[in-house]
């Protein structure tokens, strides 16, 4: 989910967007997140891009990185992500989002903007576990 974005169209009419992007990850119903600058471009009906999180290259599609749903983190990334507060996690699971954010969208953006420094914390490329 873009927290703020620059949007444009190329000469063929395909949409492009870039800016700070909130990625949400899920493990056993627990949610964790991070923010990175992402560039997305239209691929068919979807907006797709990539983010580099330390040694991990994450493919993203639509809101939260997985079309309104959280992504499954690769092995070794989970420990470096920032946990969402319990009340926001509950709001997310009740939000009803599918292919886009649900009713939790405004709360997610507010939380991310208020915790931007923490969410942007770098992950060292050589660090996988710990």
Residue that is written with structure tokens 């639509």 in the block: 62
- Per-residue pLDDT tens over the stretch 7-25: 999 999 999 999 999 999 9
| Per-residue tokens: 66 | 């997985």
pLDDT digits (tens, 9 = 90+) for 56-106: 999 999 999 999 899 999 999 999 999 999 999 999 999 988 788 999 999
Phi/psi of residue 41, nearest 5 degrees = -135, 160
Segment (H or E) for 44: none
Q: Three-state DSSP class for 80? A: helix
- DSSP structural state of residue 70: P
């Amino acid at each position: 989910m873009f927290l703020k974005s620059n949007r444009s169209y190329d000469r063929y009419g395909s949409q492009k967007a870039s800016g700070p992007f909130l990625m949400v990850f899920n493990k056993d119903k627990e949610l964790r997140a991070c923010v990175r600058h992402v560039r997305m471009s239209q691929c068919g009906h979807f907006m797709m891009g990539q983010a580099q999180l330390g040694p991990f290259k994450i493919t993203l599609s639509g809101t939260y990185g997985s079309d309104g749903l959280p992504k499954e983190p690769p092995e070794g990334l989970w420990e470096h992500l920032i946990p969402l507060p319990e009340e926001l996690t509950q709001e997310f699971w009740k939000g009803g989002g599918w292919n886009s954010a649900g009713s939790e969208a405004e709360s997610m953006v507010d939380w991310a903007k208020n915790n931007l420094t923490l969410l942007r914390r770098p992950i060292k490329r050589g660090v996988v576990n710990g």
